[in-house]
């Protein structure tokens, strides 16, 4: 079993795993989708009534969107996650209370006319919990409107709600080898020139490409020249994107550890009986 990273950015990763079965690949995919914990806003307390600003002007707490919609939008904002934080259920205190180990509190206070952005959310205490993406619009306010609220963020997984989903577009495909005869057409030259790193074998009458790396010219090749396609069902090309709450590498690292942890739990329970 071998894992190589083909492409790595802060929020995107593409990697290959050789020597696994489709069921193992799918287990990893599903873990990446719904078993990575992250921080998301879970409870929002709105201030209702008049809101005064620094200059003593009185604003009203009405907004064009319902409070429920605002609370939902706040929940979907990606927050930077510290994987050492605990789930609230694992803490000793009653489940409706929070503690610094399991909860991050935010306040949001803005006066109109303005657009409220995710960057206006201010965490209490450690500023490392400021939202990763500060340009997500939440609501628009007109001149006599204001918003004042307090929000609690807790850890969760996407099994419970999509707001705790770290990854998007998690997919895998088999490694493919596409062989074309050079006599059939000249199009292979264009593919070779635009993506030279996709060529894996070439001799005087045949050329073999792989589509492991992205190549826009490749799609046309399949329709042009009767290619011979070979797929390997033990060699997988994975890719996924994160929402920024965790880096792509940390997410993959956690997913692999999580799989191992879950299987070792099964092994332990089997040993007892």
Enumerate binding residues for another protein (CB under 8 A): 12, 60, 62, 64-65, 73, 76-78, 118, 133, 135-137, 139-140, 142, 145, 162, 165, 168-169, 241, 243-244
- Helical pair 22-34 and 248-272, crossing angle rounded to 10 deg: 110
Give whichever of 59 and 88 is closer to another protein, judged by the CB atom. 59
- Closest approach, Cβ 99 to another protein, in A, equals 28
Give whichever of 134 and 233 is closer to another protein, judged by the CB atom. 134
Could you give the angle at the alpha carbon of 21 between the alpha carbons of 18 and 27, nearest 5°? 105
- Closest approach, Cβ 117 to another protein, in A, equals 9
CA 87: distance to chain centroid?
Answer: 19
CA distances from 212 to 16, 89, 110, 200 (A): 8, 42, 48, 11
Give whichever of 21 and 26 is closer to another protein, judged by the CB atom. 26
Give whichever of 142 and 257 is closer to another protein, judged by the CB atom. 142
- Closest approach, Cβ 109 to another protein, in A, equals 19
Give whichever of 37 and 98 is closer to another protein, judged by the CB atom. 37
Residue 249, both tokens: 């590498």
The dihedral region occupied by 105, where left means phi > 0, alpha psi between -120 and 50, and beta the remainder, is beta
Residue 61 and residue 49 in contact, taking contact as beta carbons nearer than 8 Å = yes
Q: Which of 234, 217, 52, 236 is nearest to 146 (CA)?
A: 52
- Closest approach, Cβ 62 to another protein, in A, equals 5
Give whichever of 12 and 174 is closer to another protein, judged by the CB atom. 12
Give whichever of 114 and 256 is closer to another protein, judged by the CB atom. 114
Please state, as a whole number, how many other Cβ atoms lie within 10 Å of the Cβ of residue 65. Answer: 14
Preceding amide of 113 cis, omega within 30 = yes
Give whichever of 74 and 207 is closer to another protein, judged by the CB atom. 74
Q: Which residues contact 189 (CB under 8 A, 6 or more apart)?
A: none
- Closest approach, Cβ 47 to another protein, in A, equals 17
- Closest approach, Cβ 133 to another protein, in A, equals 5
- Closest approach, Cβ 190 to another protein, in A, equals 19
DSSP string, 100-166: TTTEEEEEEEEESSEEEEGGG-EESS-GGGS-S-TT-EEEEE-TTBEEEEEEEEEEE-TTT-GGG--
- Closest approach, Cβ 226 to another protein, in A, equals 29
Residue 194 and residue 216 in contact, taking contact as beta carbons nearer than 8 Å = yes
């Amino acid at each position: 079993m071998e894992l190589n990273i083909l492409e790595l950015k802060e929020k995107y990763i593409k990697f290959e795993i050789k020597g696994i079965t489709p069921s193992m690949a799918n287990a990893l995919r599903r873990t990446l989708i719904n078993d990575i914990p992250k921080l998301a806003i879970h409870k929002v307390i709105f201030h209702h009534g008049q809101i005064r600003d620094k200059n003593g002007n009185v604003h009203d707490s009405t907004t064009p969107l319902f409070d429920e919609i605002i609370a939902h939008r706040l929940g979907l904002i990606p927050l930077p996650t510290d994987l050492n934080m605990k789930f609230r259920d694992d803490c000793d205190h009653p489940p409706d209370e929070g503690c610094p180990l399991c909860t991050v509190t935010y306040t949001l206070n803005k006066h109109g006319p303005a657009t409220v952005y995710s960057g206006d959310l201010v965490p209490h205490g450690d500023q490392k919990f400021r939202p990763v993406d500060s340009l997500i619009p939440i609501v628009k306010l007109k001149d006599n409107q204001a918003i004042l609220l307090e929000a609690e963020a807790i850890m969760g997984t996407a099994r419970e709600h999509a707001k705790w989903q770290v990854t998007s577009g998690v997919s895998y495909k088999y490694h493919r080898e596409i062989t074309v005869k050079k006599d059939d057409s000249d199009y292979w030259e264009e593919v070779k020139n635009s993506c030279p790193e996709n060529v894996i074998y070439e001799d005087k009458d045949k050329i073999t490409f792989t589509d492991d790396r992205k190549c826009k010219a490749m799609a046309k090749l399949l329709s042009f020249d009767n290619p011979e396609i070979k797929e390997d069902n033990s060699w997988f090309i994975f890719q996924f994107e994160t929402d920024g709450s965790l880096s792509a590498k940390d997410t993959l690292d956690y997913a692999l550890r999580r799989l191992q942890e879950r299987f070792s739990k099964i092994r332990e329970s089997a040993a007892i009986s």
